[in-house]
A and B are shown apart, each in its own frame.
Chain A
């Protein structure tokens, strides 16, 4: 179905060209029973011209010059049909597609889809499907996407990571799932993104300022996740996924079942993952001068589990669709026991080393519930979209009570929270986007919309970092797309946003010795701020045969978050006393993006450079001060703003050495510099070092008893990161090798998809500059064999 959506929008781009000596190829697509098939994709090559059939199954491709063409007709749930057609006048080509009850995963997002998305977006986009995710599966969705140029991650342990796009992460990257912005605790480095990677079938990564469509926070880019797999009519199908990993002894399974009558479909999926402590290629790690011996190379207490379920159902009609997505992602995972953050801890090794799979203190527990409705309907030339969502993110961090600073040595039994509850965040999010697109004529499309979000955040626990707060945003936007020809597209958009944030006063639950005797310190004030911003974007994309050229300039923004405005507490995980700045302005970013890609039968080469300027980047500045009373003797970190300049880009190239052998190179680089403020001359925190992947991939349609067999080798080179800012450490360069292989096996009537990966083949000991554990010298995972088996099944519903 996503194909249809995309191709529908694509058909807007491909407008009529009334040149002379060209002809029209038209016809009707039906099924075997002569039922009209709207939304089938028709692609003509050479030239790769494509359209989708309309509501009556009719299609029309203009501007075809005389010659012989391959026509490829595809539609989800039907066998693809290919034939050659001689065009020497206006030609009619009708086609009947044969129904096949297919498996969910057989719906392949072709390269064509990715290509099309790239052409219709003036920003740089990466598109991947579930095959990519399976073949490159890491410990979490983001870890799997890290292979994409310009994408990196901030990690904690083996199962959690956060997205970073071109060096920007946390609240500067928006994650969207089924049209609704994912809201967790994006600001924290010690927890991950609550997305089940086994439920994802398509991900688009937009690199660059995307506030225009996504509002506040989309400064660095967007990770747009879609679950659009739809079973064919009158079919039931599903998949059993089994996964195993040797490094952290992960065992997991994800089972999905989906069925569809005529216009009603439903889908259910459950995922269970269980993993033990992960192994590193080291006998000991150095936390400051203190050497922690590791038991059998295991990082103590990094085990965890995930329990997820998803339910979706809805109505699918040619001109109307409404889908509901309900899901709950639940995880529990331990923190490395010998340090809680940066603080070295004494460990009862006997207790911890007894089992590699138990989760002891300190640990975190996260529950993310989400309910989304995504609907669209078409009326004449207009399309209306509504994306509505409710989310609850509930996160707890638990550890043995430790009296820090002036906290009482013994936890009083009169408190409303338990002694082991270090922090609790409870967030309720209501969001909605309404959008209308008008296809003015074949060349011009207008899209207008409003989006709004309301957040209610509560806190609990003995440690205070951010106050409770409520946040409201409302934005309206208008985007115009105009195609001068099928090759050239101009896009312009304007957006206005308004937002408020109210933080609640907070007092310590224990008293501290002030100059006027003992008192309960007030950490946060009642604060009420509002922000407004105009963002815009203009881009041009030109795609003559073999080439794709893009330029885009845009302004994006981000409202300061509660932590930046009102933090006032000690982060014992970092030995820092973090202080918010209530006077911060909304962060603004201007970015110029370019993209040049050449592609021919054998060769693809592309570069995507960018220049970026922030007049007022918000960052947590470590000062030279210490604070006794509020900071318990810790170093003072204050949120400040500075001018920042960044530049960088990605490079990708693929060359078909032989029919079945491809060599590829992917590289990325980001340079950042603060141009003003106390850290003038320094870079930004968590700057990813330059890196490259050299890849060899061998594909064969049939190899022994495998079909669609592949083998691939990734040689990953990462440069040293010596450009750092306090409190970071420089990180050495490293090289790792990853292997991947797989294919499909048919046992009787049953298909099996197998993929095997070997990550860090040579068990190299290295540090990742963007790991949360970098500051205490924890190396990354050692060698890891990952086996994924997918067993699709299907049947018919009468």
Chain B
């Protein structure tokens, strides 16, 4: 029985110790990508144009501190990717890529920020050398993290066309 008592005592001590140390304020919330509001661009099913710059506008927030974000654009000519949004977009016909456009970039967010307003100009070239990029259905992917490592993703279906 001594062994048992010792174990129980140890257990109780451990439980007490943990009950007392439950005061940490660890971050338990994901950052938020806010897609509402008229200022947001692009929205699901929007169209961008080759050879032009567009203004990427979006609002990020977190309960404690934001981390960083990235945006990526790649072709969805085979319709493989679905957006993470409710609305369904009208896709063009399935086709094979010849010279599809790819864009990937990661961006820091100033340290300590709980709210961050993105308002930046992103240039879409019209082609590679003399070959124009393929127009059609593209996927626009946003990934946001906070300092604790929580993340949120948004995938939008867009079109990128030649004007």
Q: Smallest CB–CB gap between A573 and chain B, Å?
A: 13
In the complex, the answer to whether A289 meets B86 with C-beta atoms within 8 Å is yes
Q: B70 contacts which chain A residues (CB < 8 A)? A: 626, 628, 633-634
Interface check A426, CB cutoff 8 A: no
Q: Which of A291, A345, A634 contacts B81, CB < 8 Å?
A: A345
Bound-state CA distance A631–B143 (Å) is 12
Q: Which residue of chain B has the shortest Cβ distance to A547 in the bound complex?
A: B1
Q: Which chain A residue shows the least CB distance to B155? A: A344
A743 sits at the interface (CB 8 A): no
For residue A345, which residues in chain B have a CB less than 8 angstroms away from its CB?
A: 80-82
Q: How far is the CA of A682 from the CA of B82 in the complex (A)?
A: 33
Contact A403 B74 (CB under 8 A): yes
Mark each residue of chain B from 96 to 122: 1 if its CB lies under 8 Å from any CB of chain A, else 0.
111010101111000000000000000
Which residues 131-151 of B sit at the A interface, judged by CB distance below 8 A? 141, 143, 145-151
CA distance A636 to B74 in the complex (A): 20
The CA-CA distance from A338 to B67 in the complex, in Å, is 30
- Chain B CB count within 10 A is highest, among A631, A633, A671, for A633
A288 / chain B contacts, CB cutoff of 8 Å = 84-85, 153-155
A637 to B18, CA, bound (A): 28
Which A-chain residue is minimally distant from B31 (CB atoms)? A624
A594-B4, A635-B143 are contacts. A673–B80 as well, Cβ < 8 Å?
no
Name the contact of B106 in the complex, choosing from A338, A410, A594, A633 (C-beta under 8 A): A633
- What 20 additional pairs, Cβ within 8 angstroms, besides A288-B85, A628-B104? A287-B82, A287-B84, A289-B85, A289-B86, A403-B74, A403-B75, A405-B104, A409-B97, A625-B106, A626-B145, A632-B104, A633-B104, A635-B145, A647-B11, A647-B18, A673-B18, A681-B26, A726-B151, A727-B149, A727-B151
Residues of A within 8 A of B24 (CB): 680-681
Interface range on chain A (Cβ under 8 Å from partner): 35 or more
Considering only CB atoms, which chain A residue lies closest to B147 in the complex? A624
Chain B 59-89 interface 0/1 with A at a Cβ cutoff of 8 Å (1 = within): 0000000011111101101111111111000
A673 to B69, CA, bound (A): 28
- Per the CB 8 Å criterion, the residue count for chain B at the interface is 53
Q: Is A402 an interface position by the 8 A CB rule? A: yes
Pairwise interchain contact A403-B146, C-beta atoms closer than 8 A: no
Name 21 A/B residue pairs within 8 A (Cβ), A-sorted: A288-B154, A290-B84, A343-B81, A402-B80, A402-B81, A403-B74, A403-B97, A405-B74, A410-B97, A551-B3, A551-B6, A624-B149, A626-B70, A626-B143, A634-B143, A647-B11, A673-B18, A680-B24, A682-B26, A726-B148, A727-B150
By DSSP majority rule, is chain B's interface helix, strand, loop, or mixed? Answer: mixed
Contact between A346 and B149 (Cβ–Cβ < 8 Å)? Answer: no
For the complex, give the distance between the alpha carbons of A191 and B8 in Å.
39
At the interface, yes or no: A445 with Cβ under 8 Å from chain B? no
* Closest Cβ neighbor of B67 among chain A residues: A624
B153 — nearest CB in chain A belongs to which residue?
A575
Kindly state whether residue B53 has any CB partner on chain A within 8 Å. Answer: no
Give the Cβ gap from B61 to chain A, nearest Cβ, in Å: 15
Contacting pair A626 B106 (CB below 8 A): yes
Judging by beta carbons under 8 Å apart, are A647 and B4 in contact?
no
Bound Cα distance A288, B44 (Å): 14
Is A596 at the interface (CB under 8 A from chain B)?
A: yes
Q: Are B72 and A346 in contact (CB under 8 A)?
A: no
Asked if A309 lies at the interface with its beta carbon under 8 angstroms from chain B, I say no
Q: Known contacts A289-B85, A635-B145: does B10 contact A626 (CB below 8 Å)?
A: no
**Alpha-carbon gap, A201 to B118, bound state (A):** 62
Which residues of chain A from 719 to 757 have any CB-CB distance to chain B below 8 Å in the complex?
A: 724, 726-727
- A211 and B14 CA atoms in complex are apart in Å by 25
- CB nearest to B75 among chain A residues: A409
Contact B15 A289 (CB under 8 A): no
List chain B residues, Cβ under 8 A from A671: 18
Q: Are A592 and B10 in contact (CB under 8 A)?
A: yes
Which B residues touch A647, using CB under 8 A?
A: 11, 14-15, 18
Smallest Cβ-Cβ distance to B66: which chain A residue = A624
Q: What's the minimum C-beta distance from B114 to chain A, rounded to whole angstroms? A: 14
The CA of A682 and the CA of B79, in the complex, are separated in Å by 39
Interface string of A327-355 (1 = CB under 8 A from B): 00000000000100011111000000000
* B11, B80, B84: the one within 8 Å of A611 (CB): B11
- CA of A626 to CA of B105, assembled, Å: 9
User: Is the beta-carbon distance between B78 and A400 smaller than 8 angstroms?
Assistant: yes
Closest chain A residue to B106, Cβ basis = A626
Residue A263 CB within 8 A of the other chain: no
Measured between alpha carbons, how far is A623 from B143 in the docked complex, in Å? Answer: 13
Most buried by A among B7, B81, B86: B7
Interface contact A679-B149, CB-CB below 8 Å: yes
Taking a contact as CB atoms closer than 8 A, the residue among B26, B74, B151 that contacts A575 in the complex is B151
Query: Max chain A CB contacts within 10 Å: which of B102, B106, B149?
Result: B149
Query: Are the C-beta atoms of A549 and B3 separated by less than 8 Å?
Result: yes
